[in-house]
Structure 1
Amino acid sequence: MSTVLVTGASGFIAKHIVRELLENGHAVRAAVRSERRRAQVEALFPGASLTFVSLDLTSDEGWTEAMEGVDVLMHTASPFPTAPPKDPQELIRPAVGGTLRALAAAQAAGVTRVILTSTCGAIYKPAGDQWDRPKTREDWTDPEGPRTTPYEASKTLAERAAWDFVAEHPEMRLTTINPGMVFGPAMDADYGASLRTVEQLVTGEYPALPTMGMPVVDVRDVARIHVRAMTEEAAVGQRFPANAGAMTLPEMAQILRASYPDAKVTTRIAPDWLIRAAALVMPPMRTAAMGLAMNAEVDGSDAPRQFGFEYISSSAALLASAEFIRQSVGTGSRVA
């Protein structure tokens, strides 16, 4: 079995990847940024074949040592903002620089197998007037497009940089995984931005909902794809969008309202003109405005066909998130 370096190991997706790796007999070297993050991960896997290193996307320190004895690099780390930054470079620099730093350290250490966590956001906003059609793994988001968010730009440029790097170093064997909006159960109370969206829906924090849609996938399937891709020779050189089916926020709200009739789920739909107007003065609304009138469907059929599984449905992933939040300390009373 392999020793796998997982960067950003305290993240929502990464913790599921670590569990999947350990359950399949692999040893994990978990890269985290702080002792607090280390304690979070360590508490989930007592007695496991798990070691820790401290790494930062913006610093060279520790990367050479972290690669010693590693067979596979699983690079999941990338900055994710709670709100769009004023300067997109706040996300782009660490995302691109961190990816190249990880790849260079791997290449120097003779670690040739790399799995990179990208996003459907690096796929579904290509250049030109292509908003009304589904996208495939052949599509690339235009990082300078007027409706591309800074996060989508950072992930697109980071993935492009990774493919350019391996083109110059043909011994490197790269696969990228491109999840949509990742729902499903969290492994602890630190569940990040995607489940925060579900929390906002079930607690009625949205006064009205934009009609923006997004690809949706369960975190357990995302972890499965990462680990199966690691040992599949046919996966080398491929991108794998992970999408069980796109949903709009109003569709999500309807599902949640039916399952939690006593929750304060908003089902009111905000007209597009109102979202666009609000985006002019409210930075959090800009992301919603950028996604209006867009076909968010991305063909995710390659992964289950290649790796032999069936997606957990988008609605089941959504409800798994809501149930986790309902039962979580400090949020259950707000949802039930």
Structure 2
Amino acid sequence: MTVLVTGGTGFVAGWTIAELLRQGHDVRTTIRSRRPDVPGDYEVVKADLTSDEGWAEAMAGVRYVLHVASPLSGDGDLVGPARDGTLRVLRAAVDAGVERVVLTSSAAAATPAPGSTGVFDETLWTDLEVQPFDEYRRSKVLAERAAWEFMRDKDTALVTVLPGAVLGPTLSQENLGSVRVVGRLLDGMPGTPRVGLNIVDVRDVADLHIRAMTAPEAAGERFIAVSEFMWMADVARTLRQHFGERASRVPRRTLPDFLLKALSLVVKEIRPLVPMLGRQYTLSHEKASRVLGWQPRPAVTAIVDCAESLL
């Protein structure tokens, strides 16, 4: 059977394609522009989330769709391309008679209100009225909500996967997403912000997508994809312990909250961290383990393998 993976040059999509091929599936992937240097034993088609062109061709003969692609950054609107692009993919999948779509959402779509502590699961939906999220996180929340609304009365089944901070080894230097956190620590920072991460290994995210693709009991469900919670200071400590002199630039102190807030006024890249300062809550992967038999790697493995590939 043929599986379509959208956004084939991305971090998660790349590992998902690799695992699908390892399991013997025929794979087709979409990229925004045709490039002759995309290697692999799979088919590549041009299709952009902002245009209808190419999606009928991409869906032809496909049984399952793993919709991983989503705009990651930029100065403009991310909500529109993420939400409208998701609906464009779902519409094309329904029109083509695809059996199931697995949508990559985000743990941002199951984030408790500021000040909350404890353990939370997939029954939680983020309330954007009380969450001062950046554009990317808002786009993921609104895209998943739009997807469930659109697919409510369709024959094609929908499953959503909600990853936390995705780390692990890289396959390329493009579209690294959360990996940049480890890269910046290795490059040297004045200190670590008081920010906590619900970490997951990219290989486990790919594995969960594929399990959700075929398991009958996954249809119509959300699955959180996280391993465990760690403060960024703990991530930095892990890097120093495992890499010694190779991690000599990794900071040893934690930045005061007031200093990070002041820096965010002039450094826009760190502004998304401000609402996350001091937040400590755990997202549970119990449902994915119980329903799909999914067992994620320890967060330390994801961090060390990520750093090794960057180094």
Q: Percent identity?
A: 40
Tell me if 1:270 matches 2:262: no
Tell me if 1:152 matches 2:137: yes
* 1:81 paired residue number: 73
Deviates most, 13-22 or 269-278: 269-278
Q: Equivalents in 2 of 1:152, 1:135: separation in Å?
A: 18
* Shift in Å, 1:176: 0.5
Instruction: Find the partner of 1:39 among 37, 41, 44.
Output: 37
Matches within 5 A, 1:306-317: 306-317=291-302
* 2:48 paired residue number: 56
Q: Equivalents in 2 of 1:142, 1:211: separation in Å?
A: 23
Aligned residues: 309
How big is each residue's C-alpha offset from its partner over 1:235-290, in whole Å with a ceiling of 9 and x where there is no partner? 11111111110111111000001112212111211111222222233212211111
* Shift in Å, 1:154: 0.1
- Residue identity matched to 1:285: I
Q: Is contact 2:49-2:85 (8 Å) kept? A: yes
Instruction: Find the partner of 2:288 among 293, 296, 303.
Output: 303
- Unmatched 5+ residue regions in structure 1? 327-336
How big is each residue's C-alpha offset from its partner over 1:10-47, in whole Å with a ceiling of 9 and x where there is no partner? 101101101111111111111011233x623x2xx2xx
Q: Is contact 2:208-2:294 (8 Å) kept? A: no
* 2:194 paired residue number: 211
Matches within 5 A, 1:208-287: 208-262=191-245, 263=247, 264-287=249-272
- Residue identity matched to 2:205: V
Q: Is contact 2:11-2:177 (8 Å) kept? A: no
Partner secondary structure for residue 228 of structure 2: coil
Tell me if 1:165 matches 2:157: no
RMSD of the alignment, in Å? 1.6
* 1:68 paired residue number: 60
Q: Equivalents in 2 of 1:130, 1:100: separation in Å?
A: 33
Matches within 5 A, 1:5-24: 5-24=4-23
Q: Equivalents in 2 of 1:308, 1:104: separation in Å?
A: 30
Deviates most, 290-299 or 12-21: 290-299
Change (3 A) 1:191 1:161: closer
Q: Is contact 1:114-1:174 (8 Å) kept? A: yes
Partner secondary structure for residue 227 of structure 1: helix
How big is each residue's C-alpha offset from its partner over 1:313-335, in whole Å with a ceiling of 9 and x where there is no partner? 00110000001111xxxxxxxxx
Q: Is contact 1:131-1:293 (8 Å) kept? A: no
* 1:334 paired residue number: none
Q: Is contact 2:162-2:224 (8 Å) kept? A: yes
Q: Equivalents in 2 of 1:108, 1:146: separation in Å?
A: 35
* Shift in Å, 1:147: 2.2
Q: Is contact 1:114-1:173 (8 Å) kept? A: yes
Q: Equivalents in 2 of 1:296, 1:182: separation in Å?
A: 17
Change (3 A) 1:277 1:146: farther
Q: Please, what TM-score do these two structures have when normalized by structure 2? A: 0.95
* 1:189 paired residue number: 173
Q: Is contact 2:34-2:45 (8 Å) kept? A: no
- Residue identity matched to 2:52: D
* Shift in Å, 1:65: 1.7
Partner secondary structure for residue 244 of structure 2: coil
* 1:131 paired residue number: 116
Q: Is contact 1:137-1:241 (8 Å) kept? A: yes
Partner secondary structure for residue 168 of structure 1: coil
* 1:330 paired residue number: none
Q: Is contact 1:60-1:101 (8 Å) kept? A: yes
Q: Is contact 2:9-2:175 (8 Å) kept? A: no
Q: Please, what TM-score do these two structures have when normalized by structure 1? A: 0.88
* Shift in Å, 1:295: 2.1
Q: Is contact 1:252-1:318 (8 Å) kept? A: yes
* Shift in Å, 1:130: 5.0
Q: Equivalents in 1 of 2:202, 2:116: separation in Å?
A: 26
- Unmatched 5+ residue regions in structure 2? none
* Shift in Å, 1:144: 4.0
Partner secondary structure for residue 71 of structure 1: strand
